[in-house]
Amino acid sequence: MPVAPADFKAALGRFPAGVTVITMVGSEGDHGMTASAFCSLSLDPPLVLVCVKNGNTSHGLLQDASGFAVNLLAQDQMNLSNRFAGWGPQPEDRFGDQGDERGAVSGARFLPGAMASLDCTLYGTRDGGDHTIFIGQVEGVVLRGDDAELAPLLYFKGYKAVGEGL
């Protein structure tokens, strides 16, 4: 007998995850989405994956894109995470105050202040039930900040910072 969806969601909510914003360029310009279902996949070749719910806007744009960027958010970027998740007040232009740095290969936006940004080509997709697993080959990396200063934004029953009593 399969597990109840509410129990499954509650169990996974007990696993802390880093927060990313995935960006891509679509036919109508730049687009971004917040994702915590992200991880590394392979070192050789360098692959990452992100899971995106079937049928949403980001899903269609990622399917059509040749690549995307992954922006690993810092703990002071909670508002940016909310912005790209569609939570709370939304500016008319989600990217308006985010500079114009882009991945050399994907053309996708890099977000200033992110601890790192990965420039990816679309390596492939896999079925993941009600999600699609998008696999990206990392073609370039931008690292920001000093190792001693890095503090990731985490999601664990709400936003957390490292050392905040997970």
For residue 140, give both structure tokens: 């370039």
CA-CA distance, 122 to 56, in Å (whole number)? 18
With the CA atoms of 65, 26, 144 and 93 taken in that order, what torsion angle do they form, in degrees rounded to the nearest 10?
-170
CA-CA distance, 70 to 24, in Å (whole number)? 9
Q: pLDDT tens digits for 72-84?
A: 999 999 999 999 9
| Residue among 166, 165, 162 nearest 75 (CA) | 162
Residue type for position 58? S
In the numeric block, the tokens 């993941």 are attached to 128
Q: What pTM, to 2 d.p., does this model score?
A: 0.92
Q: What is the pLDDT of residue 163?
A: 57
Q: pLDDT tens digits for 114-134?
A: 999 999 999 999 999 999 999
* Rounded average pLDDT over 67-75: 97
b/e string for 130-148 if b means 16 or more Cβ within 10 A? ebbbbbbbbbeebebeeee
92 band by pLDDT with thresholds 50, 70 and 90: confident
Judge whether residue 33 has pLDDT over 90.
yes
Judge whether 124 and 136 are in contact, CB under 8 Å: no
| Overall fold of domain 19-161 | Pnp Oxidase; Chain A (2.30.110)
Give burial (CB, 10 Å; 0-12/13-18/19+) of 41: middle
* Rounded average pLDDT over 60-67: 94
140 band by pLDDT with thresholds 50, 70 and 90: very high
Q: What is the pLDDT of residue 127?
A: 96
Q: Is 34 helix (H, G, I), strand (E, B) or coil?
A: strand
Q: Which residues have a Cβ under 8 Å from the Cβ of 143 and sit 6 or more positions away? A: 115, 116
What are the boundaries of each domain within the chain?
19-161
Q: What is the pLDDT of residue 94?
A: 87
For residue 139, give both structure tokens: 């073609």
